[in-house]
Amino acid sequence: MTKSNGTRRVVVTGMGAVTPIGETVPQLWAGVREAKCGVSELGGFPLEDLKVLIAAQIKNFDHKARLKHFERDKIVLHADRYSWFAAAAADEAMKQSGLKIPVEDPYRAACIVGSGAGGLTTYETAYRDLFIHNKRATHPLTLLRIIGSSAAAHVGIEFGIKGPTFATCSACSTATHAIGIAYDYIRHGLVDRAIAGASESVINYGTMKAWQALHVLSPQGCFPFSKNRNGTVLGEGAGILVLETLENAEKRGATILAELMGYGQTSDAKDMVNPGVEGPREAMRMALADAGLAPEKIDYLNAHGTATAINDKNETNAIKEVFGDHARKLAVSSTKSMHGHPLGAGGGIEATLCIKAIQENWVPPTIGLTEPDPECDLDYVPNQGRDREVNYVMSNSFAFGGLNTVLVFGPPPA
Amino acid sequence: MDEVATKIVEILKKHMKEPRDDIALSTELQDLSIESLDLAMIVFDIEDSFGIEIPYNANEEVEDFKTVGSVVEKVRELIESKGGSAAAAGA
């Protein structure tokens, strides 16, 4: 029940996701199996003078249908969209875990649900009301909708979690940090179970303008590792896991989906937008060391793979340094080619896909990869997923500011 | 009930989990199981509907928010002190 370093073993017993290609994990996985692309024409608000007119949006998300059964959290239906995604994903994960709701021994449970930006769309609406429509006040729930910890609070209220409850915030590494911290809390005995992951919903006029001004969005699509890649595509959604000790999971007869074996986190401490090889490399090495695995044991790596010119090349180089000869035998893919870049939620969604890959011995593809970039020369599983024995997987999340996080999952302990 | 009172009852019902049809001027707000957050939203809606500003602080117990009738009285007073009629009602 403990690892060689004496810490408790941690397993995943539930997972939930809301994405543009599937609003639950089974739907998402079916979408990935079909190599579905979630990128579509931007819509849902006046586009005005926007130049980038695509995004991976979740169309027609029915928050009422998904959340109306919530019993303890009375106002989740009035929350920001990012909290809806978090609540729906957490609900799916909790149901799968079979844990009692509200959770037993509530002070020994954690709820760490991050967000890169919180309720940015609520901000935009409120500021439009004030500055354009000259309204005398914002909507009374504006503040509660905006705060970046509101998703964590909503989820914690509904599931009765009374231990550590907060949000992580580290741009595209947000979910992975949340899962990593929950893992640390559980293995070191601070809590026995946790809901962990992140949620994001920032596709609005102001955010699109801000991303456009940084000149990193593609007007055509998200084509990671391709010679034709010309930027990322904003996505939205949530990815959340239920984690607990192996001991508790076995004791209550829960179905174990995977073991969370390793976590690495580093910071480049160098540049806001230009990543280095060293930081990502060290984070991957740290996660492998923590898992007690040789690099050759990893079968599948879910890359950060944003489809920006610099990330994909840099990540490829970092993978080569960590894996050596094995880098070419490893299946590497960027599922962002399908679900877009959901910013803070990315690592949560990608963690669910890594676990599905282990369960089904099938690796997801990188779609839109028709012309490989000579500088990105690994096996990115182009366009079609494939059968492959998958025991151990790695999931990379690298964020603006050079914030790097990596998780390693393995099969349920025999 | 006059126009102001009818409008206020309408707003109250909109924010109640289980709206009732027997709301009278003498009904106490606490009997409508309206919580502090609901009250903030009710105040916002009333202000919008009548074009007034209600001095309300969630930290204080206020007599004006005891019964439906006292809310109606307060709103009427604010409309009058604004110097206008209830013309803004329904805006």
User: Token match 């875990």: residue?
Assistant: A97
Tens of pLDDT, residues A333-362: 999 999 999 999 999 999 999 999 999 999
- Catalytic one of A172, A222, A354, A376: A172
Could you tell me the two tokens for A358? 């282990």
Which of A75, A136, A137 is the closest to B37 by Cβ?
Answer: A75
Q: In terms of CA atoms, which chain B residue is nearest residue A137?
A: B44
Q: Are A10 and A243 in contact (CB under 8 A)?
A: yes
Nearest to A154 by CA among A77, A66, A247, A55: A77
Mean pLDDT of A127-154: 96
Q: Round to whole Å and give the CA distance between A328 and A321.
A: 12
**A280, containing H or E segment:** helix A278-291
pLDDT (0 to 100) of residue B17: 79
Residue A70 predicted with pLDDT over 80: yes
Q: How many CB atoms lie within 10 A of CB A102?
A: 16
Name every residue whose Cβ is closer than 8 Å to that of residue B18 and which is 6 or more positions away in sequence. Answer: none
Q: Is A188 considered catalytic here?
A: no
Where exactly are the structural domains of chain B? 3-88
Average pLDDT over residues A251-279: 97
In chain A, how many domains are there? 2
> Searching chain B, which residue's CA lies closest to the CA of residue A135?
B48
Give the per-residue pLDDT at B36.
Answer: 77
| Residue A403 domain flag | yes
Q: What's the CA gap between A369 and B47, in Å, rounded?
A: 56
Same domain, A266 and A247: no
Residue of B nearest to A144 (CA): B37
> Is A346 buried (19+), middle (13-18) or exposed (0-12) by CB count in 10 A?
buried
Count how many residues are written for chain B. Answer: 91
Whether residue B56 lies within 8 A of chain A, CB to CB, comes out as: no
Mark whether A78 is an active-site residue.
no
Phi, psi of B45 (to 5 degrees): -65, -40
Does pLDDT of A105 surpass 70? yes
Domain match, A228 and A376 both:
no
Please indicate, yes or no, whether residues A289 and A368 belong to a single structural domain of this protein. yes
Please tell me the predicted confidence (pLDDT) of residue A116: 98
Whole-number Å distance between alpha carbons of A219 and A232: 9
Q: Which residue range(s) make up the domain with A403?
A: 262-410
Predicted TM-score (pTM) of the model is: 0.94
Listed in sequence order, the residues at least 6 apart from A22 whose beta carbon sits closer than 8 Å to its beta carbon are A28, A29, A30, A31, A32, A36
The CA distance from B25 to A312, in Å, is 67
> What is the number of residues in chain A?
414
- Asked if residue A290 and residue A234 are part of one domain, the reply reads no
Domain match, A220 and A290 both: no
In a domain, A4, yes or no: no
Whether residues A105 and A229 share a domain: the answer is yes
Contacts of A74 in chain B (CB under 8 A): 17
Of A304, A339, A354, A376, the catalytic one is: A304
Q: Report the CATH superfamily, name and number, of domain B3-88.
A: ACP-like (1.10.1200.10)
Q: What are phi and psi of A302, to 5 degrees?
A: -85, 105
Give the up-direction half-sphere exposure of residue A68: CA atoms within 13 A in the CB hemisphere.
5
Q: Does B38 touch chain A (CB under 8 A)?
A: no
Question: Is A5 inside any structural domain?
Answer: no
Q: Which pLDDT score is estimated for A173? A: 98
Cβ <8 Å between A137 and B44: yes
Contact A390, A362 (CB under 8 A): yes
Retrieve residue A265's tokens. 């986190």
Same domain, A300 and A236: no
Whether A140 sits inside 8 A of B17 (CB atoms) is no
pLDDT greater than 60 at residue A3: yes
Q: Please name the amino acid found at residue A408.
A: V
What mean pLDDT value characterizes chain A?
Answer: 97
Residue ending a domain, among A251, A279, A312, is A251
pLDDT (0 to 100) of residue B91: 43
Residues A305 and A172 in one domain: no
What is the C-alpha to C-alpha distance for residues A369 and A351, in angstroms, rounded to an integer?
A: 22
Which residue would you say has higher pLDDT here, A224 or B16?
A224
A141 with A64, same domain?
yes
Taking an 8 Å cut-off on Cβ atoms, the answer to whether B41 and A74 are in contact is: no
pLDDT digits (tens, 9 = 90+) for A375-414: 999 999 999 999 999 999 999 999 999 999 999 999 999 8
End-to-end alpha-carbon separation of chain A, Å? 12
Q: Are A412 and A261 in contact (CB under 8 A)?
A: no
Q: Which residues of chain B have pLDDT under 70?
A: 83-91
Amino acid at B71: V
pLDDT of B18: 83
What pLDDT does B64 receive? 84
- Phi-psi map region of A89: left, alpha, beta (phi>0 left; psi -120 to 50 alpha): alpha
On the 0-12 / 13-18 / 19+ scale of CB atoms within 10 A, A74 is middle
Q: What is the mean pLDDT of residues A307-326?
A: 97
Q: Do A198 and A294 belong to one domain?
A: no
Distances in Å between the alpha carbon of A292 and those of A261, A335, A389, B85?
Answer: 8, 26, 20, 77
Query: Same structural domain for residues A63 and A171?
Result: yes
Q: Is the ipTM of this complex over 0.95?
A: no
Residue A26 burial (CB count, 10 A):
12
Is residue A354 part of the annotated active site? The answer reads no
Question: Is residue A326 a part of any domain in this protein?
Answer: yes
pLDDT on residue B45: 94
pLDDT at A414: 86
The residue out of A195, A219, A251 marking a domain boundary is A251
Mean pLDDT across A266-279 = 96
Sort out which chain A residues have CB atoms less than 8 A from B44's CB and list them: 137, 139-140
Q: What is the CATH number of the domain that holds A216?
A: 3.40.47.10
Distance from C-alpha of A215 to C-alpha of A309, rounded to nearest angstrom = 12
pLDDT for A59: 96
- Window from A26-30, A56-60, A106-110, B61-65 with minimum mean pLDDT: B61-65
- Which of A251, A270, A305 is the last residue in one of the domains? A251
Among A154, A146, A151, residue whose Cα is nearest residue A124: A146
* A59 and A201 part of one domain: yes
CA distance to A145, B14, B46, per residue, from B34 (Å): 20, 11, 15
Mean pLDDT along residues A253-282: 97
* Best residue of B41, B57, B78 to probe chain A, by most A CBs closer than 10 Å: B41
